A and B are shown apart, each in its own frame.
Chain A
Amino acid sequence: MKRRDVLAAGLGAVALTAPAVRSSRAQTKTLTIGGSVPLTGAAAETGLNVNNGYITAATYINDVLGGVEIAGDKYKIQLKLFDDASDPARATTLIQRQLDEGTDFFLGSFGSNIVLPTVAITERAKKPMVQTGGGSDAIFTRGFKYSFGMFPRATRQFAAASALFKTLNPGPSTYSVVYNNDAFSKTAAEGVRQSCDAAGFKRLDSFELPAKVTDVSSVLASVRANMPDMLLCVVHDQDSLLIARQMVATNTNVKLLYQGLGPQLASYREALGKYSESILCSTYWDEGVPYKDKFFGDAKKFTEYYRSKFTRPIAYHVAGAAACIETYVMAMQAAKSLKPDAVRDALAAADFETFYARIKFTPDGDGDPLTLGGMIGQVQKGKLETVFPEAAKTAPPVYPAQTWDKKA
């Protein structure tokens, strides 16, 4: 990423978090949406994407559309986003302060470990939070009524991948799963086990890694000793790269390597080069999705506008974050009100088409598994192609993957 990129994001955040100067035009009011994002710390890489997505949507609505009309009044969006430094304790303090200052609507941070405690605070205050950063089941199984997530809960996120595995012919029959010891990864691994066991795949091993990983040699030695057809890794970006590099170096070959997070990033694909070929991952959006949108028009126009503002490569978290703001606006328009309870009810009843996806939530607040469920991407010729579902497919899946020495 270029320095200018960080500068733009930083200045954008600072500008948008500055105290509001209400428009001199009497007819334009200010709609304040608060929240925190991790611009520093462990979650900053994706946090920056989420932050850029929020800024892109708010800037477009304010500068290009001149604001939005809600219940007969014109509003400009003011974002009050602060850096939570990937620290749940700091995030809760920031959210509580904003609640005390009278903020009624919130956007989520990135990372289930941050979203969970912050959403508990907004829930208690009966203020809605729409987020694209937390997928852990714990966020959606505590009876929260004011929390809405852009992803299905973690245990439901693997359904698309296991459905893809079933379509492969001749297909895999065994799998092992690798995950981190943290809220998101553990529930995601549970989702892998549930989906794959239900689909009839035989589980050979489950490997729990610490939250911070420096070496996976021992895990790979165990994998080689009990070789599965599929190695399914639901770990974080950095750990995915470490696992893949050590797999190549130790010649640990599986027919299918799936890494939930990592291959979506250009930096991951550059670091692995030709060895990233055929690695599968989850993806929730790409600029080719066919949805229409009342603000940007479609995904391509959103991408064009984003690229005019940022040099940082676009990722699905950018689009998801922008869709959070669109969802808020459409819910407020449907509710014809800016009262938190009315907006919450409109969010619960949401069925909006956006450039990101059709937005619809389950009664527990997580994304509808059908409309907001993931797609499966595969690295092919250095590019991430969508290989599932059929409707969004840009290339057929490659299976089995070539061995590492043949990729060399």
Chain B
Amino acid sequence: MNLIAQTLADGLVLGGIYALAAVGFSLIFGVLHVINLSHGILVLMGAYLALIFSEALHIDPLLCIPPVMAVLFCVGYAYQRFLIQHAVDRASVNSMLLTFGVALMLQNAMIWVFSPDMKSITPSYAFTSLKLGPVNLDAVRLSALAASLILLSCLAALLRFSPLGRVIRATAQQTMAARLCGVNVRHVYALTFAVSAAFAGAAGIVIGIILPFSPNDEGGWTLNAFVVVVLGGVGSPAGALIGGLLLGMVSTLTAQYVGPAFPNVTMFLLLVLLLLVRPNGLLGNAFAPSR
């Protein structure tokens, strides 16, 4: 019984992190219809920036979330406006090739700047744990889960209640109608990408305090985001959360009861099954009903 509770708690924590890491990917895919293969690089940029800020300013890495999100917001805006939009204008498949190329280049740039060595962010509570009944939870994972849930809620509120969120939703649902209403669609696309990049950066910080990281990890985080989006559905924080939690639970339950080497097997099995049974994901496309 204790083992089941521990496994479910571990799955919940892991799932929350997967969800945060995937939500930006989901939003870009839902609004811009762009598969951003450089998503993992944005996540790692967040982790490296947090490492730099927290070491330079001697502050808790989670306090670096606002400045890191601000930096990545700007990077994301410029990246979409000056590179991706041009590729999309020519042919939509170009954006995939472009983001793949950018990912390769930036990965090597990161190796150049930061070295290929593993890095880790060690907050003061890195080795503290809490005991909730039979369940043992380490403080970094718990704080990472809390940060993930807060950030996902903030994004959901932003999309639901803010003028920017309304414009993003309107553009995603009826691009032409939004344009006719005077919405600067290119600007909205760039803003959406910027918001997504900012959340990818925040996810990088959360990941960085839990896992050692190196430039080579970028592909793994892009792949995880892809799986989460396929499982949960496109375009909404809720879809990312459902997909992330499902992936986290499946991973830990498989590791515990089938074998630690098998989470990837069950993860992709689930992916194939869901693509056959419910190709739009569990919550479907958040912007589809109005299309």
Contacts and interface: CB of A to CB of B under 8 A. Distances in A.
B249 to A, nearest CB: 12
Given A40-B116, A249-B128, A208 B261 contact: yes
Given A217-B6, A241-B120, A181 B129 contact: no
A143 interface: no
Interface in A1-41: 1, 3, 5-6, 10, 39-41
B36 interface: no
A222 interface: yes
Contact of B113 (A3, A208, A404): A3
Contacts of B120: 241, 245, 267, 271
Interface string B28-53: 00000000000000000000000000
B214 A5 contact: no
A404 B138 CA distance: 13
Contacts of B117: 1, 45, 265, 267
Contact of A219 (B118, B216, B220, B260): B260
Nearest to A250: B136
Contact of B115 (A1, A221, A246): A1
Interface string A27-69: 0000000000001111011011000000000000000000000
B256 interface: yes
B251 A408 contact: no
A130 B113 CA distance: 31
B217 to A, nearest CB: 8
The 4 closest A-B pairs by CB, nearest first: A249-B138, A44-B116, A1-B115, A217-B10
Interface of A: 1, 3, 5-6, 10, 39-42, 44-45, 47-48, 86, 181, 207-210, 212, 214-219, 221-222, 225, 237-238, 241-242, 245-246, 248-251, 265, 267-268, 271, 273, 275, 404, 408
Given A249-B127, A250-B136, A45 B10 contact: no
B21 to A, nearest CB: 10
Contacts of B259: 208
B112 A249 contact: no
Contacts of A181: 261
Contacts of A3: 112-113
A158 to B, nearest CB: 21
A217 B255 CA distance: 9
A265 B214 CA distance: 15
B75 interface: no
Select the residue from A44, A214, A275 with max chain B CB neighbours within 10 A.
Answer: A214
Nearest to B125: A249
A249 B260 CA distance: 20
Contacts of A241: 118, 120, 212
B112 A6 contact: yes
Nearest to A405: B127
Contacts of B263: 210
A405 B76 CA distance: 43
Nearest to A3: B113
Nearest to A271: B120
B115 A6 contact: yes
Given A209-B260, A249-B129, A221 B138 contact: no
A250 B134 CA distance: 12
Given A248-B127, A249-B129, A267 B118 contact: yes
28 contacts: A1-B117, A6-B112, A39-B111, A41-B216, A45-B118, A48-B116, A210-B260, A210-B261, A214-B251, A215-B251, A215-B252, A215-B255, A217-B14, A221-B6, A221-B10, A221-B256, A222-B3, A238-B212, A241-B120, A241-B212, A242-B212, A246-B138, A248-B126, A249-B126, A249-B127, A249-B129, A249-B139, A267-B119
